[in-house]
Structures are given as C-alpha cells and as structure tokens.
Amino acid sequence: MNRPESVRSVLLSVLSVLTAITVLAAAETADAPTIPVDAAAAGRRIAEEMKRRDAGFGDSLSEATMVLIDRAGGEVRRQFRFSILEDVADAPRSLIVFREPRDIAGTALLAHAHRDRDEDQWLHLPALRRTKRIAVRGRTGAFVGSEFSYEDLVPWALERWTYVHRRDEAFDGRPCHVVEMRPVYADSGYRRQEAWIDQERFQPVRIDSFDLQDRPLKSLRLDDWKRYLDRHWRPQRLRMSNAQSGAATTIDLSPYVFRSGLTAADFTDAAMARAVR
C-alpha cells in the first residue's frame, strides 16, 4: 500500500470513530445544554432550560399546609388546595382555595398570568357573596400573613426577569448553577434574587431575595424533591425565612396529582364559587 493512502485511510478511520463517539456522546447528553461563556447569555440559557424541562405538565393540583412561624416560635396554620393549569398559549393559571383557618375557609384566589402584562387576580368571598377583582400592585404584600409575598407565589414567567450566571456552587451536596435574576416588571419588592439551580434537575433548590436597598431580605429553601411523570420535579417542602424580621413560613405539599383533566373552565371566577362548595 502507498504510505499516503494508508495514512489517509487511518485518518479516515480515526475520524469516523471520533465522529461516532461524538454523536453518541451528543445523544447521551442531549438533555444537558452547553453554557456559553457570556454570563448573561449563560443565565438566559439556564432559565430557558428550566422552562423547557418542565414544559408539558398540563395541570397539577396539591394540598398545602402552610405554617407561619413568628420570631418567638409561635405558629399559625393555613391549609389550602393549590391547582395550576399550564396554558401553553398564554401563561399559567392558578387557583388557591383556602380550607383553614376558619376565618378564611372557603375563600378562593384565582390568578391568570400573562407574558406581556401584569397578571389578573380575583378573590371569591363566599360570606359576602362577592367575587372581586384585585390589583396585583400589592404583589409585595404578605400572602395571608406569611413570609411568602404574592410575587413569590405567582407562577414564574421567563420573560419577566433578566438572568446572569454568576458561578457554579454546590448546595446540599448537589452541584448548582447560581443565577442572579432581576425583575423587569414594575412594582417588584425585590431588587434581585440569587437562585441555586440544580444542574441535573434544572430546578431551583434555593432562592435568596434582596430588597430594593439590596439588603438580604428572604431566603427560600425547596426540599424533598419528587419526580412525576418521569420528568417533572416538584418540591414537597418549602421554607421561606425572613432575614430581617426573623420570622419564617413553611409549606408542606401533598403528592401532586398531574393531568387530572383540569381545563381553562376550571380557572374562571364562576368556577371559584363551585370550587369552594
């Protein structure tokens, strides 16, 4: 054999093998995105991956027990049912029906999120026999006296934040991307947030929030993760701690039920009255 030809064939063989390996590797890591060097682009990419990973859950509902813990350790309990509809065309819809305590049992809060404007909210008041649309300008207010604000509970919308990848750091033994998020919508109670995004699941496991003076305000921990439908990770426990007041709130969630057949009709103001009966 001529030397040049033999060299060429060896090279071709090696190239083929390398290509095969590359393709196989790419196939194996199809779900793991590459992170660009630029921090903002990297942050955006991570956020997009978070959205992509969780897309397609359809609807879900869960029973939640919220415990408000004051600085002295005193506790107040709330219970509610939380259902959410993934609206692919627009943005998610959510419905909270309160079960406890007695003073708010039977009230319901409906929210329609939008990509390009503030969400709409309605509050159903059975004893007053009224349903009232309420403004979200109060998003910074405490949700039923807890350390969660309404802003914390509105389903996350990709376009309403900017993202910057700050670093990679382990949290609770799991490697995470630390992404700084800044709201682009008006009236936010936060100047920025830092989120630890699990590198495997692409879900936030910790979010630190900073007030408008950029002082540490609250820290959210999300624990007891379970995987549903082989794809959708959900935390069973959330704990929000207020760094400035010393108070905290925990939310324990029952196992989620996905794709139970909820539709848009279940997330209307008329449906609220049915839901509370």
Partner 1 sequence: MPSWSIRHPLIVLLAWCTLVAAGGVAVVRQITGARPAIDNSVAVWFMRDDPGLVSYRDFNRAFGEREWSLLLLTTDDILAPEFLQQLDALSDDLGRLPDVSKVVSLTTVRDSETGADDELAYTAVYRPHGSGRRATAEEVTAFAARIAATPMFHGSLFRPGDRQHTVLLIQNANRLDDAGPWRIALVDDVHRLAAACPGVRSHALAGTTVINAELNRASLRDVLVFYALVTALVALVAWFSLRSWRDVIVILAVVTACLLPTMGAISACGLAFNMVTVMLPTILIALSVADLMHFIHAIHCERAGERVAVVAPRCWRALRLPSTLTCLTTIVGFLMLAMSTVGPVFQLGVFTAVGLALAWLATYTLAPVALDALWGRRLAPALPPVLAGWLQRGTRRVRVPALAIVVLSLVAMAGLSRVHTDTDYSRFFRSWTGVARAYDDIAAAGFFQSPLALSVRFPAGSGWTDPAEFRRLVAFEAELRALPAVGKVLTATDLVERAWISLAGAEAARRQPLTALDRRQLDEVVFLGELSGNDDLRDFLTPDRQRCQVVALTAYLSSRALLALRSDIEALFARCFAGSPAQLDVTGTTVLWANMDSHITRTQTFSIAGMVLPLLVLFPIVARSLAVGLIAALVNLLPLACTFGLMGLCGVRINIATTLIGAIALGIVVDDTIHFLGRFRSERAAGRSWQDAIDATRLAIGASAVRTTAIVVGGFATMAVSSFRPTAEFGIFISYALLLGLAFDLYVLPAALALLAPRRDRARVAAPLVRTGAVHEST
270 touches partner 1 (CB under 8 A): no
Write out the two tokens for 116: 């390009």
76 touches partner 1 (CB under 8 A): yes
CA distance 46 to 201: 11
CA distance 185 to 200: 29
| Window 102 to 141, contacts with partner 1 (CB under 8 A) | 103-104, 107, 109, 121, 123, 125-128, 130, 132-135, 137-141
* Binding-site member from 57, 82, 148, 150 for partner 1 (CB under 8 A): 150
Stretch that binds partner 1, among 43-51, 80-88, 96-104, 171-179 (CB under 8 A): 96-104
Q: In which element (H, E) is residue 50 found?
A: helix 39-54
184 touches partner 1 (CB under 8 A): no
Q: How far is the CB of 146 from partner 1 (least distance, A)?
A: 8
144 touches partner 1 (CB under 8 A): yes
| Window 31 to 70, contacts with partner 1 (CB under 8 A) | 68, 70
| Window 211 to 240, contacts with partner 1 (CB under 8 A) | 212-213, 215
CA distance 276 to 270: 11
Q: How far is the CB of 47 from partner 1 (least distance, A)?
A: 28
Which among 223, 118, 99 has a CA at the least distance from the CA of 109?
A: 99
The residues pairing with 97 across neighbouring beta strands, listed in sequence order, are 81, 108
Q: How far is the CB of 143 from partner 1 (least distance, A)?
A: 8
Which among 68, 66, 114, 70 has a CA at the least distance from the CA of 90?
A: 114
CA distance 176 to 35: 13
Write out the two tokens for 16: 């083929």
* Binding-site member from 71, 226, 231, 274 for partner 1 (CB under 8 A): 71
**DSSP, residue by residue, 93-136:** EEEEEEEESGGGTT-EEEEE--SSSPPEEEEEETTTTEEEEE-G
Question: Whose Cβ is closer to partner 1: residue 125's or residue 257's?
Answer: 125
272 touches partner 1 (CB under 8 A): no
Cis, peptide link before residue 155, omega less than 30° from 0: no
Q: How far is the CB of 102 from partner 1 (least distance, A)?
A: 8
Q: In which element (H, E) is residue 5 found?
A: helix 3-28
Q: How far is the CB of 121 from partner 1 (least distance, A)?
A: 8
| Window 193 to 212, contacts with partner 1 (CB under 8 A) | 212
DSSP state of 34: P
Q: How far is the CB of 132 from partner 1 (least distance, A)?
A: 5
Contact positions vs partner 1 (CB under 8 A): 68, 70-72, 76, 101, 103-104, 107, 109, 121, 123, 125-128, 130, 132-135, 137-142, 144-146, 150, 212-213, 215, 245
